[in-house]
Amino acid sequence: MNDSTIQGTVVSLYEIGCLMGALATMRFGDQFGRRKVIFVGAIVMTIGATLQCTSFSLAQLIVGRIVTGIGNGFITSTVSGTASCYLLLALG
């Protein structure tokens, strides 16, 4: 593999992590509630960002990208539903 293929793969693994996180939210959102899922997503994103910032190898960077994507999938798929509920409450 050449460098551009590896770079593209590492970048796209973030989106695959987002997909996995969004799909996992379907189950965990109903089971634990939206606020807890958003909080857990923020923690998972922090862990993933730490892994990326401290990576010494390509494998560690790949794991960090996937973990950060999972956390973002948790947050992104949950916040939109939460925001719509708060909007309805604000409008009365």
**pLDDT higher than 70, residue 20:** yes
Domain membership of residue 75 as a residue range: 6-91
Residue 23 lies in a domain: yes
92 pLDDT band, cuts 50/70/90, is low
What is the distance between the alpha carbons of residues 32 and 71, in angstroms, rounded to a whole number? 16
Question: 3-state DSSP call for residue 72?
Answer: helix
Domains: count for the chain: 1
Asked if residue 1 is part of any domain, the answer here is no
- Alpha-carbon separation of residue 25 from 20, 22, 47, 56 (angstroms): 9, 5, 18, 31
pLDDT at 29: 84
Interval 1-19: pLDDT, tens = 778 899 999 999 999 999 9
pLDDT tens digits for range 39-85: 999 999 999 999 999 999 999 999 999 999 999 999 998 988 777 77
pTM, to two decimals = 0.87
